[in-house]
Amino acid sequence: MILRRDLFRLAAATTLSSLTPNLARAEQHAGRGMVSPRIKDIQVIECEPAGVRLTVVKILTDQDGLYGYGCATFTQRADLVRPAVEKYLKPFLLGKATDRIEDIWQSCYDSSYWKNGPVLNNAISGVDQALWDIKGRQAGMPVYQLLGGKCREAVDTYGHAGGEDYADVVSSARHYVEQGFRNVRVQIGVPGMAGYGSSAAGSSNFKPLHDKPLFEPAQYIRRALKMFEVCRQELGDELNLLHDVHERISPNQAVLFCKEVEKFNLFFVEDPLSPEDIDYFRQIRDNCATPLAMGELFNSPHEWQPLLEGRLIDYIRCHLSQVGGLSPARKIAILAEQFGVKTAWHGPGDVSPVGHMAQITLDIVSPNFGIQEYSPFNDRTQAIFHGCPLMKDGYLWVNEAPGWGIEVDEKEAAKSPFTPSKNGLNGGWGEIRRLDGTVIKQ
């Protein structure tokens, strides 16, 4: 007769024997955890290979040859990112285990008490992306594999077309079509004005009361509407046309503009409003079905959350390093997916190739990917950043090498240091004013 206590003993013995291999594996794993890489040094690499200041964070570990790179580019305030990394994040992070990416992100985010600012977010992004690079190198996999693998083969992009006049814009757009692009952003200059995406020679019909760059929203709107008409006539209906208002018009003008361009069937209108005016998106939605893209200036969850939850935009286009790196951007992509909003990350020249690789990694793993902004990498950039994303027929291809698949040649980077800016603003932007001298957003 088997007694109850014998049953317990039998069960305990059976459980222990079946657990022994698992315990051994767990101990082994814990052992590996104890020897997981630790942050040994954090360095900042700065360079300016294409007229734009780029900042990259390099994290070195205590394991020989194991390191990673992250983009921390905030070109308009580039000189402030280095001390944010070196004086604040570095002493906070030295000795920490590199494999706890989320924990490191959260603790860095909280360590300044006040948060969601562009300088600090970029510094955290440099660390965050470098840790993902390290994890990929450890795994021997590209980062996209660590995020679940590809949802598509390559990343569809749009190029920047522009010109002084309508014919120039059409010609510039055709240049992209000939390269295989299916999507082109079109911008036109306004004579005598500092237009976004394209300027035009000549002078304004009215004399400004100042000597600064000039911009009048109403004149730009009239010219942009005519540009879309010409582009549709000359380029046909099949080419996807995009446009960036760059938050230069008033909220009411934005409502009217989006309503007027509905007939041109644009892929999207970008930044018709500034972050301060996002409550006006509901008015635009109530008046037209023009697809809306927003978010490149966002730094805080309080900015993107209401637009996503309210289904008030169609594309979220944050700048990855401005929101704090790959980790928070991935959460934005997943949140957007729940509300039927697609991604269109900000990707012009003020993102380093490391940042571009982080973006297209997110593009390739996100089911709700929409489109990717593209900016070419010149020869100097490719001499510094080995392994830039490959562009072919309008598609960007992610690297298959471990991590981001990018190596930074620091000797080459040193040959392209930050250059003194002509206006003495260290990469910062100057002002643009209306005829009467009023500063406008740019």
Binding site for Mg ion (CB under 5 A): 244, 296
Smallest CA-to-CA distance from 403 within 37, 31, 156 is with: 37
Residue 103, classified by CB atoms within 10 Å of its CB into exposed (0-12), middle (13-18) or buried (19+), is: exposed
Distances (CA, A) of 302 to 298, 305, 309, 338: 9, 6, 11, 17
Minimum distance between the CB of residue 289 and Mg ion, rounded to whole angstroms?
21
Residue with tokens 């960036």: 244
Q: Give 274 or 416: the residue with its C-beta nearer to Mg ion.
A: 274
Q: What are phi and psi of 243, to 5 degrees?
A: -155, 140
Minimum distance between the CB of residue 280 and Mg ion, rounded to whole angstroms?
18
Please tell me which residue in 243, 246, 346, 356 is annotated as part of the active site.
246
Q: Give 58 or 243: the residue with its C-beta nearer to Mg ion.
A: 243
Per-position DSSP letters for 178-203, written without gaps between them: HTT-SEEEEEE--BTS--SS--B-S-
Q: Give 98 or 198: the residue with its C-beta nearer to Mg ion.
A: 198
Q: Give 363 or 373: the residue with its C-beta nearer to Mg ion.
A: 373
Distance between CA atoms of 58 and 128, rounded to whole angstroms?
A: 11
Q: Which long-range contacts (CB under 8 A, 24 or more apart) does 15-20 make?
A: none
Q: Give 82 or 317: the residue with its C-beta nearer to Mg ion.
A: 317
Distance between first and last Cα of the chain: 87
Task: Tokens for 436, please give them.
Answer: 């009467």
Closest residue to Mg ion using C-beta atoms: 244
Minimum distance between the CB of residue 346 and Mg ion, rounded to whole angstroms?
6
Minimum distance between the CB of residue 246 and Mg ion, rounded to whole angstroms?
6
Please tell me which residue in 158, 166, 196, 374 is annotated as part of the active site.
196
Minimum distance between the CB of residue 83 and Mg ion, rounded to whole angstroms?
28
Count of alpha carbons within 13 angstroms of residue 408, beta-carbon side: 29
Catalytic residue at 109?
Answer: no
Catalytic residue at 246?
Answer: yes
Task: Kindly list the catalytic residues.
Answer: 196, 246
